[in-house]
Amino acid sequence: MYQLTYWQNNKPISYDYFFQSLWAAVFKARAITESHGFPTDVISSTTGAIMVEFEPNSKKAIYIDSDAPKDVKLLALTPIE
């Protein structure tokens, strides 16, 4: 399971929903960053590891965990337009 944390006014806010799929969590994180301009992290709820990070001034992920599947890496690295 995966959870999102976004940063608003330099304070972490947990998105109150867990995702079964890393791909779905990354998709939602991108949407939050693109729509609201908040930096967003996707965190594994089992290990606590950050899987993917997005920043509003970047058109793609600024960090992707090396263990992320190829389809997730492709989603995270495709520039937001």
Rounded Cα–Cα distance for residues 75 and 60 (Å): 9
Order of strands across the sheet with 50-54? 11-19, 2-8, 40-44, 50-54, 63-64
Number of domains comprising the chain: 1
Q: What is the pTM of this model?
A: 0.90
**Structural domain containing residue 43:** 2-77
pLDDT in tens, 27-69: 999 999 999 999 999 999 999 999 999 999 998 999 999 999 9
- For 58, residues 6+ apart whose C-beta sits below 8 A from its C-beta are none
Closest residue by Cα to residue 29 from 55, 11, 8: 55
pLDDT confidence band for 10 (50 / 70 / 90) = confident
pLDDT confidence band for 16 (50 / 70 / 90) = confident
Rounded Cα–Cα distance for residues 47 and 35 (Å): 28
Is 20 a residue whose pLDDT tops 90?
yes
